[in-house]
Amino acid sequence: MDGDSGQDRILRAALTCFGRDGAAATTLTALRKEAGVSVGSFYHHFQSKEEVVAALFAASLGRYQREFTAELRRHPDPGEAVAAIVAFHVAWCAREREHARFLFTERRPREDDPGAAALAEQNRAFFGEVLAWWRVQRHHGALRPLDLTTAFVLWLGPAQELCRMWLTGQVPEPSAEQVALLGDAARRVLTP
């Protein structure tokens, strides 16, 4: 989505249009005009607006997941890693506001939607990597023996909700003190 291909232009236009009007209210005509592509070019890359939504969801989430795992690997101390990921989450939402807002406000593709199988595979790979890291740390007694779902909710649930509220205009941008407090709370609850 960082290139200048027709597909990249359509995805960038979708991010703009969906952010402004929502995916449901965005017409294909508006999307094509924003992207500067012809009808033929649009249908060369996507068969429907639903495919664009799925592709944008996968691209946005993929950006987050790649940076998440890179940040996780940067911290050899598990407690530091837990707190650093909380800070990363908020910083990513600030840096990639349009992508984060899209992920917070649009529904992820359902099982039978276009692109759902590819997104499920992408998520399996991401969570497999995070789970492998978690299991090693848990095995060595550095993290509490929790299942990944409970760990995720305790780890990023508060930061996720704070960012969702912020990006939908309900609260001001999180302060450095809030981020540090959430990181410290996650570290305390997830490490023995």
Domain ranges of the chain: 1-46, 49-190
Q: Under a CB-based contact definition with an 8 Å cutoff, are residues 121 and 160 in contact?
A: no
Q: What is the pLDDT of residue 112?
A: 86
23: closest CA among 45, 1, 55?
A: 55
**Dist. CA 42–CA 44, nearest whole Å:** 5
| Topology classification of domain 1-46 | Arc Repressor Mutant, subunit A (1.10.10)
CATH superfamily, domain at 49-190 = Tetracycline Repressor, domain 2 (1.10.357.10)
pLDDT digits (tens, 9 = 90+) for 116-139: 899 999 999 999 999 999 999 999
Q: What is the pLDDT of residue 184?
A: 98
Q: What percent of the chain shows pLDDT beyond 90?
A: 86
- The single residue listed with the structure tokens 């595979």 is 121
Q: Is pLDDT above 80 for 176?
A: yes
**Dist. CA 174–CA 180, nearest whole Å:** 10
Q: To the nearest whole number, what is the mean pLDDT of the chain?
A: 94
Confidence band for 40, pLDDT divided at 50, 70 and 90: very high
Q: Under a CB-based contact definition with an 8 Å cutoff, are residues 174 and 90 in contact?
A: yes
For residues 175 and 147, the model is more confident at 175
Lowest mean pLDDT among 42-46, 111-115, 122-126: 111-115
98: closest CA among 11, 186, 40?
A: 11
22: closest CA among 121, 123, 106, 120?
A: 106
**Average pLDDT estimate for 105-113:** 86
Q: What is the pLDDT of residue 3?
A: 61
pLDDT digits (tens, 9 = 90+) for 65-87: 999 999 999 999 999 999 999 99
DSSP-derived 3-state class of residue 84: helix
Q: What is the pLDDT of residue 1?
A: 62
Q: Could you give the dihedral angle defined by the CA atoms of residues 47, 105, 122 and 179, in that order, rounded to the nearest 10 degrees? A: 150
Residues 6+ apart with CB under 8 A from 152: none
Structure tokens at 113: 């939607």
Q: What is the pLDDT of residue 109?
A: 85
Structure tokens at 121: 């595979």
